[in-house]
Amino acid sequence: MFAQLKEQPADKILALMAAYRADPRDDKVDLGVGVYKDASGNTPVMRAVKAAERRILAEQDSKAYTGLAGDPAFGAAMKSLVLADSVDHAHVAAVATPGGTGAIRQALELIKRAAPKATVWISDPTWPNHPSIINYLGMKSQSYRYFDSETRGVDYIGMLTDLGAMLPGDVVLLHGCCHNPTGANLTMAQWDGLIKLIKEKSAVPFIDIAYQGFGDGLEEDSAATRKVVSAFDNVLIAASCSKNFGIYRERTGILMARCKDADETAITQQNLAFLNRQNYSFPPDHGARIVTTILNDPELRADWEAELEETRNGMLALRKQLADELRRMSNSDRFDFLADHRGMFSRLGTTPEMVEKLRADFGIYMVGDSRMNIAGLNADTVPVLAQAIIKAGI
């Protein structure tokens, strides 16, 4: 049987990580892997997470399964964090998932059951797992323009033009904040125009929000999602806790579905539980319990928010330092977009050949499409990167 299996394409980021580890140069810089790193190159456990885990260890008296949808307290806490009062929570079905990826997968499975002929529209570029899962499930998809390689900002006119071809019932996948891989985000006025178009086309928004708190702040980063949720009867929201709680390996995510009324919510909740049962039965609980403990305890929450704000401001400072350094070295403002982008990533907007030159000649590792992890930098490596960019002729 196994002899019939075909070799699968290598994961580009994992291959990049392997190449980085094998590189003997002492001055190499890893900007490829998509995890937060502090100034020492570590991905730390947040203070509130450690405190919550100690409490859970002391108080938890069972490792029995949670429900198919996960602990209801986790769902309630995440609805409040992401959606606030933008919608009646009684009209939001929700299930815990193994990370944000699990939430994306379950959302697409739900779309396939509810609207098998729907086309899923994804930004060009987008997180590689989006098209990968869509293709694996045999679903129809189309891309819409998003990133302008000249300005390194959003190609808003191109985006609206492409989405103008949506048909009723189609689904448009949107990044709630901190667009991955580009770091370029819509303004709130642009979100208003996008909402108007989606309504006109009778399409359904599907929001992936994986970096809440990494951009402009917890409330600011959820503003677009809340605006969308309040404007439509049906919205899908996939949220990840990997980044803002720093619990990557605990695989903690949630899928929420905004429904029209109580009856629609009940049938959607039933279908989400069914999908969980088919794919992994009961979702993991440890990470969800950490998040719930933090969000429901004022002291832990305050400490978590403070550390998250330190993380966010640290990335903003690196962005400004890099933009300023490049402005000084190039004597131009063509790299100022780096300070305007938000989240962990920015897309430099150069060619794969230039990315390879940065790796080969200067030991700078980034993904082939020129996505770089700003959190992979520190105050000492920013000038190294800036000098490499200038010397490479980007």
Q: What are phi and psi of 98, to 5 degrees?
A: -75, 90
Closest C-alpha to 67, from 364, 315, 269: 269
The tally of CA atoms less than 13 A away on the side-chain side of residue 374 is 31
DSSP state of 338: H
CB atoms within 10 A of CB 26: 6
- For 248, left (φ over 0), alpha (ψ -120 to 50), or beta? alpha
Q: Give the span between the Cα atoms of 5 and 389, in whole angstroms.
A: 42
Residues 6+ apart with CB under 8 A from 123: 143, 144, 146, 147, 159, 173, 174, 175, 179
Residues 6+ apart with CB under 8 A from 355: 348, 366, 367, 368, 369, 370
Let me know the angle formed at the C-alpha of 254 by 251 and 255, rounded to the nearest 5 degrees: 135
Provide the greatest CA pair distance for the chain: 63
As annotated, the active-site residues are 127, 208, 210, 243
